[in-house]
Amino acid sequence: MVASGGMTTLRYMLACIAAISALVFSRSGTASAEDKPPLSKDIVVTLLGTGAPLPSPARFGPATLVQAGGLNLLFDAGRGVTVRLFQLGTSSGSGIDAVFLTHYHSDHVAGLPDLWMTGYMFGPFGSRAKAMRLWGPSDGTSAPSGVAKIAKGLAEAFSDDVRIRQLDEHVSAAATQIEVRDFHGDQVVFDEAGVKVTAFAVNHGDLIKPSVGYRIDYGARSVTISGDTKFDENLIKHAAGTDLLIHEVFAMSEQMAKLPQLRPIAAHHTSPEEAGTVFSRVKPKLAAYSHIVLLGTDVRELSTRTQSTYLGPLEIGEDLMRFTIGDRVVTKRWNAELRKYPD
Ligand SMILES: [Zn+2]
Ligand SMILES: [Zn+2]
């Protein structure tokens, strides 16, 4: 009786997995959904969210997926990150090998609880078997780092969900853990499967420390992500020779620039003209904007203003825009209607 009961349960579970997989991936429209890309020398970078705090349906919160060496690395976890991963057919759980935070402003972290909890749930959108690995900067003092506080706070805030799903759905205890890796100062923070991630300090303003950007190197290919920053010499130094430079931008109309409330915010970010200067000095194969703030202005003006200081190749990022870094950098736009990239 026990054996047949066990078989029934097993059969039921297998049927569930098949049904959920079919449902999930037919909805996401991904013909051959694969968590991990086939091993190649290229780096594939997908902008999952190109916005900032504005709760825009067009631009989700900042998050960038970097795929290299058979690994999926996530940089920042802004609002909606789990939805964008689902659109790609990538699991928020088993599909993500490591998460790196640039700093602790809410727009970069708001999607993290969802990523963590959806990741340990049963189904192809979750099914993480191990702890979620989370990297983030510390201020170098003995005080708990931002990532340590986030991990501790999430465990406390959602202890009921963790308890219930462990008892009820037999989610493993390991899958509900968050493994924290904090660091201070410019250094290599990750080195696995030939993929090296270097964190470097950026200047997001005196009160917003620590704040870092990341450079990812894999063989001869590389991508550099600015995080949130003002014009910064340290970023230019670390981005030297990079193939793809993804930079934040904050563009205001002259009228908006007169508003006293916006002045301190604008002072923490990079104007299009300044970003153009960064691009001109770094000379990447391709420059791309993400974390795009447009106040009283538009994408066309953003291009024009950038071109006043930079005449090289530039993409204004869009959610799900994808860059393949090979001998050259190829850009693909997500086709929302067909729910795939063009071939
Ligand atoms: Zn931000
Ligand atoms: Zn910020």
Cβ atoms of 216 and 234 closer than 8 Å: no
Are both 140 and 3 inside the same structural domain?
no
Residue among 130, 147, 30, 25 nearest 77 (CA): 147
Q: Report if residue 337 sits inside a domain.
A: no
Are both 10 and 114 inside the same structural domain?
no
Q: How confident is the model at residue 40 (pLDDT cuts 50, 70, 90)?
A: confident
Q: How close are the terminal C-alpha atoms of the chain, in Å?
A: 53
The CA 146 to ligand 2 mean position distance, Å, reads: 14
Q: Report if residue 21 sits inside a domain.
A: yes
Are both 183 and 241 inside the same structural domain?
yes
Are both 27 and 82 inside the same structural domain?
no
Are both 99 and 177 inside the same structural domain?
yes
Cβ atoms of 186 and 203 closer than 8 Å: no
Are both 19 and 57 inside the same structural domain?
no
Q: How confident is the model at residue 31 (pLDDT cuts 50, 70, 90)?
A: very low
For the cut 70, the answer to whether the pLDDT of residue 280 exceeds it is: yes
Are both 9 and 99 inside the same structural domain?
no
Domain that holds residue 8: 1-33
The torsion of the CA quartet 181, 182, 184, 189, rounded to 10 degrees, works out to: 20
Cβ atoms of 94 and 121 closer than 8 Å: no
Q: Partners of 324 in the beta sheet?
A: 44, 330
Average pLDDT over residues 118-139: 96
The CA 228 to ligand 2 mean position distance, Å, reads: 5
Q: How confident is the model at residue 15 (pLDDT cuts 50, 70, 90)?
A: very low
Sort 320 into a burial class: Cβ within 10 Å, 0-12 / 13-18 / 19+: buried
Q: Residue 265: helix, strand or coil by DSSP?
A: helix
Q: How confident is the model at residue 23 (pLDDT cuts 50, 70, 90)?
A: very low
Q: Report if residue 182 sits inside a domain.
A: yes
Q: Report if residue 340 sits inside a domain.
A: no
Are both 299 and 197 inside the same structural domain?
yes
Q: Report if residue 342 sits inside a domain.
A: no
The CA 209 to ligand 2 mean position distance, Å, reads: 10
Site of tokens 């993500």: 96
- How many structural domains are present in the chain? 2
The CA 228 to ligand 1 mean position distance, Å, reads: 6
Q: How confident is the model at residue 1 (pLDDT cuts 50, 70, 90)?
A: very low
Cβ atoms of 249 and 207 closer than 8 Å: no
Q: Which residues of 214-230 are buried (b: 16+ CB within 10 A; e: fewer)?
A: bbbbbeebbbbbbbbbb
The closest ligand to the CA of 104 turns out to be 2
Are both 14 and 3 inside the same structural domain?
yes
Pairing of strands 187-192, 178-183: unpaired
Over residues 203-254, the pLDDT tens digits come to 999 999 999 999 999 999 999 999 999 999 999 999 999 999 999 999 999 9
The CA 256 to ligand 2 mean position distance, Å, reads: 20
Are both 9 and 106 inside the same structural domain?
no
Sort 102 into a burial class: Cβ within 10 Å, 0-12 / 13-18 / 19+: buried
Q: Residue 187: enclosing H or E segment and its boundaries? A: strand 187-192
pLDDT value for 36: 67
The CA 194 to ligand 1 mean position distance, Å, reads: 29
Q: How confident is the model at residue 39 (pLDDT cuts 50, 70, 90)?
A: confident
Are both 5 and 139 inside the same structural domain?
no
For the cut 70, the answer to whether the pLDDT of residue 83 exceeds it is: yes
Q: Report if residue 338 sits inside a domain.
A: no
Average pLDDT over residues 117-127: 95
Q: How confident is the model at residue 170 (pLDDT cuts 50, 70, 90)?
A: very high
Are both 5 and 119 inside the same structural domain?
no
Over residues 299-327, the pLDDT tens digits come to 999 999 999 999 999 999 999 999 999 99
